[in-house]
Structure 1
């Protein structure tokens, strides 16, 4: 059975994402992202599934750091529709709840609900599904978890308030990571191929006027569309940054190959994090 490392417990959104790739899997659950990456590096798991960005709160910055620190390859992605529900033990009523537990990222996606209930104490927990498990185990009527429907079901909780997330189109993008790259046979002549694959790149450029513009112009000149750009400070440097971009491209296209070849001369470091099929949008 395929072993997949995630941050979180059964019923977490990472679990839902992992099941999209591997319906029959063995979960390797971790309490933090550091351990999630380490379990893949140590071959405790065959793959890892990690969140990389959310449509409400933005990028999951920590995971960009771990992507840099490990030589893993992005071989897939999926966009999970993140629906948060307030779950408690079956005897609880909404009026009785005084404490809400969830992951910090989850709490950042239910700000309006929390503002409407100022009496609720907000408690950060290591995981949304872990919060559901804790609520079930403590059996306290005053505790509730902001979690997925799957987490509530697994832990025998009752949903006392549905859809408490701020954004009705709230999606989290997850990466599927492997120690080996995806081998694509898709050719440049394939109809619509440019919009069916995505390439994720990491690069560093000289700290001078116009250097970033020159680098990005390479992709525009080849007719390639960028869908994301992210910058992170490089440790031990004076205000220099490492960049991450996503490009719509067929990995076998001549345009992409020429662009990557020319890009090497424009930067001090270039790494292809992965070339993979564009992910589907999935309900949670």
Structure 2
């Protein structure tokens, strides 16, 4: 029997990281849940995972600089990337109506991306948590009848929740770029069309020298 590809993600099943993993590898994978990005790297380093899917930048929030540091420090190879549209929905237990809701919970970034929606509902208490999918799971596990989560449709499907409102994010063009990391690169004849450069300068003003060099190397149009 063919062994499933083990993919380490930050978060739990039905998180955006797993959605990105499904988009790249397909759904026939073994998801390795981790509590932090550092833990995903540890799993890959210890051969407890074959790949890591790691968010690296968001079109609204910007770059996740600590993740660049992890990639550099562990020396992993970047073997792919995924662009994922971040679509956020409000979900609750079956039978619960929007007017029953007293609390909404999600990851702080997801909440900020939907904050415009809640200006019209000041009576709803907003509670931050560590993971979008974990919020959906908690509603199911604890049978919370007055609480809804902000998460993706994958979480609603996995945790048997009904979507009360779709696409509540303020910016409908919100994308996150995820990198696919592997312990060692094996190109296997594949064409490589992208490269990344990591560097540092000794003093702040030296950046001008670097920019001058890059300018001289840029081909004239």
**TM-score (normalizing by structure 1):** 0.70
The partner residue of 2:31 within 27, 43, 50 is 27
Counterparts of 1:120 and 1:69 in 2: how far apart (Å)?
A: 43
Shift of 1:57: 1.5
- For structure 1, the 5+ residue unaligned runs are 188-195, 225-284
The count of aligned residue pairs is 215
Give the corresponding residue for 1:9: 12
SS of aligned partner of 1:197: coil
Counterparts of 1:213 and 1:186 in 2: how far apart (Å)?
A: 36
Shift of 1:186: 6.8
The partner residue of 2:44 within 36, 40, 51 is 40
Shift of 1:29: 0.8
| Residues 1:79 and 2:83 aligned together | yes
Whose helix proportion is higher, 1 or 2?
2
SS of aligned partner of 1:91: coil
* Root mean square deviation, CA, Å: 2.0
Counterparts of 1:76 and 1:217 in 2: how far apart (Å)?
A: 31
Whose strand proportion is higher, 1 or 2?
1
Counterparts of 1:186 and 1:3 in 2: how far apart (Å)?
A: 22
Matches within 5 A, 1:149-168: 149-168=153-172
The answer to which structure, 1 or 2, has the higher relative contact order (CA under 8 A, 6+ apart) is: 2
Give the corresponding residue for 1:282: none
**Compared CA separation, residues 216 and 74, structure 1 to 2 (3 A):** farther
Give the corresponding residue for 1:171: 175
Shift of 1:218: 3.5
SS of aligned partner of 1:199: coil
Counterparts of 1:21 and 1:186 in 2: how far apart (Å)?
A: 16
| Residues 1:91 and 2:95 aligned together | yes
Shift of 1:182: 5.2
Q: Which moved more, 1:88-97 or 1:149-158?
A: 88-97
Matches within 5 A, 1:231-246: none
The partner residue of 2:194 within 193, 198, 221 is 198
- For structure 2, the 5+ residue unaligned runs are none
**Compared CA separation, residues 65 and 120, structure 1 to 2 (3 A):** farther
Counterparts of 1:108 and 1:197 in 2: how far apart (Å)?
A: 35
SS of aligned partner of 2:8: strand
